[in-house]
Structure formats: C-alpha cells, structure tokens
Amino acid sequence: MSTTSLAQPVKKAKKPKELNAVSPAANVIMHAVFILLCLTVLIPLWVIIVASLTPEMELIEDGYKLYAKSLTPEAYGFLFREGSIIFTAYKNTIIATLVGMALSVVSISLYAYPLSRKEFRFRRFFTFVSFFTMLFNAGVVPFYFVSRQILKIDNSIFALFLPLSFSAYWVIVMRTFYTSNVPDGVIESARIDGASEWRTFIQIVLPLAKPGLATVALFSAISIWNNFFNCMLLVDTAEHYNLQYMIYSTLSNARFLSEMATQVSSLGETIARLPTNAFRMAMAGVTMGPIILAYPFFQKYFVKGITLGAIKG
C-alpha cells in the first residue's frame, strides 16, 4: 500500500491492484518460492529427456544426471526401429483415446442436456441416476468380474476406453455449462419455430456449447491416455497393452535387473549390451510428449473445466 497512489484516483481506477499490492520484499520472496516450485516440475521432465538422449554407456557409468557429456537420439531410433511392441501400444493408445473421446463427448453432452431442461418431467430422477454413481461405487472386484465375465471386454481394445467413456462428474459440469451459457430464450424461440428437441439440440445448443464440449473432450482424452489400471486389470495379451501399462512393466523389469546387476557383477555386462536405460526413458518421453506439447494450447480449457466443476448445480 502506498499513499501516493491513494491520491491518484485515475490510476486507482485503472489498476486497483496496485493500491494494495504486496511489499517489494514479499514480492521477491514469492517469486523465489514460485521459481523453486516450478523447478520441481521442470527438472524431473528435463531429467527424463536428458537420460533418453544420453548414450547408454554413459548412463551406466555415470548414472542419471542433469546434463549429458554427449547426446544421441539412438534410443529413439531403437524405439521406432525394433520396438514393434511399442508401436502396437502406441497405436492402441491413440485409437482408444480418439474413440473414447468421441464416445464421451456424445454420451455426456446428450445426457446432460435433458437434465438442464426444466420441462423434462423425469429430470430429477435421471439426475439422481447419474449422481448416485458418484456416491456409491461397487468397487474393483465386481467391476473386474462384470467386465470379464459378463461384458467380456477383457483382452481387447474396448477395455482401454469403454469403462472410462462416461462420467457423471462431467455430466454435472456440462449441465451447468448449458444452463449458464445457452440462453433459455434461444431454445424457446427455436421450439416456437417448430424445431424438434433433437434439432434444437444439434443446431442451436451444440454450437453454443463448444467450449464445454472441448473441455469434456480434453479431460476424457487425458484420462484414457493416462489410464493404467484398467489395462493392468483387464488385459493380459501384449498386443492389446496401452502405453502406460507397457512402460510400467518395462520399468519394473529395469529396476529388478539393475538391482541384480549391482549384486551379481557378471550380469552387468549382459545389461550393458541392451540400451535398456536410455531406451526406457525414451519410452517415457514419447508417452508424456504429446501431453506436454498439447498442454500450453489447451490449458485454458482445463482451467475452465475445473472451475465449472466447482459450481454447484
């Protein structure tokens, strides 16, 4: 707070923050803390990328470091040349993400719309039907048996996206989005003009709800891309693995092997011949790569989705 800006009402109107801003010293301390926090995010990602570009022998001799003496894209080349299993996992993940994203946008936007319409007679009942799934969850064991024994989606690509396609949470967010962003008057005038409910929804409501749809699409894509549990639970066949499970299983082997190597020195030689460490870090790199590259462009939708979810409907 400074008395000079108090005397200047014009400035105050322009930048109300300045009147009551934090002291310069506190400001510097806050910057320092935030830079430290940002480093806890950026350094780990940096480490993975550096390790994936470090020659295998250097990784084995010097271990993981923040910098490499020399860089080589060898691990990435190896990944795309011989790693047919990586290719399959990548393909599965991309297909599952795209199909699952489409399914969730369609099912969620359709389910949420009638719940936002006051004239729908069963609005309360169907709101409860979806809300109840957030309150009560049967648990992993029933889900496991129903998926495998009744729905029979195990050992197929369906296991990677079908259980994740619909979410009551996003139904509530979309419903809030419709009620706050699609004016009642617009829908009413469409109906007065004789448009059916489906036509009103597709031609009038959906175009107005695009930012909401984008948010649902992005969050569902991320949840399918990052999902590891359903693959581990329902998929036993390597040709249907997704990326996350694929890289999880190789990391567990890596740790096991390197611990063995420190105990039995002769094993060290065997491991040295495989570009295991850099190769695995390259796998992590290509798994998180698309998300990190897309993140800056879509960040505002993510923020929007989270803040919308916080509004009680």
Partner 1 sequence: MAKQKALNIRQRGSLRTDLAYLSMLLPGLAFMFCFNYLPMPAIIMAFKRYGLAPVPKDFPIQNRFIYSLFVENPWVGLQNFQFLIRTPSMGDYVRNTVGYNLIFMVVGTVVAVAIAIGVNELRNRLAAKFYHTVIFLPYFLSWIIASYVVYAFLSTNGIMNNLLVNFGGATIDWYRTPRYWPFILIFANVWKHSGYSSILYLSTLTGFDQEVYESAAIDGATKWQQIRYITIPLLLPMIVLLQILAVGRIFGSEFDMFYSLPNGSGPLAKVTTTIDVFVYNALRTGAQLGLPSAASFFQALVGFILVLTTNFIVRRFDADMALF
Binding positions for partner 1, 199-238, rule CB under 8 A: 201, 222, 225-229, 233
Q: Is 17 in the site for partner 1 (CB under 8 A)?
A: yes
The type of residue at 293 is L
Q: Is 169 in the site for partner 1 (CB under 8 A)?
A: no
Q: Is 66 in the site for partner 1 (CB under 8 A)?
A: yes
In the shown chain, the binding pattern of residues 117 to 156 toward partner 1, with x for contact by CB under 8 A and - for none, equals x-xxxx---x--xxx-x-xxxxxxxxxxxxx-xxx-----
Stretch that binds partner 1, among 73-81, 85-93, 206-214, 276-284 (CB under 8 A): 276-284
- What whole-number distance in Å separates Cα of residue 283 and Cα of residue 87? 11
Q: Is 262 in the site for partner 1 (CB under 8 A)?
A: yes
The type of residue at 33 is V
| Residue 88: both structure tokens together | 């399959």
- The upper half-sphere exposure of residue 281, i.e. CA atoms within 13 Å in the direction of its Cβ, equals 24
Judged by CB under 8 A, how many residues of this single chain contact partner 1?
Answer: 113
Q: How far is the CB of 48 from partner 1 (least distance, A)?
A: 6
Q: How far is the CB of 134 from partner 1 (least distance, A)?
A: 9
The string of DSSP letters for 63-129 reads -S-SS-SS--THHHHHHHHT-HHHHHHHHHHHHHHHHHHHHHHHHHHHHHHHHH-TT-TTHHHHHHH
* Burial environment of residue 263 by CB neighbours within 10 A (0 to 12, 13 to 18, 19 or more): exposed
Among 78, 99, 197, 286, binds partner 1 (CB under 8 A): 197
Q: Is 9 in the site for partner 1 (CB under 8 A)?
A: no
Q: Looking at residues 29 to 58 of the shown chain, list those that interact with partner 1 (rule: CB under 8 A).
A: 30-31, 33-35, 37-38, 40-42, 44-45, 47-48, 51
**What is the tally of helices (H) and strands (E) in the chain?**
19, 0
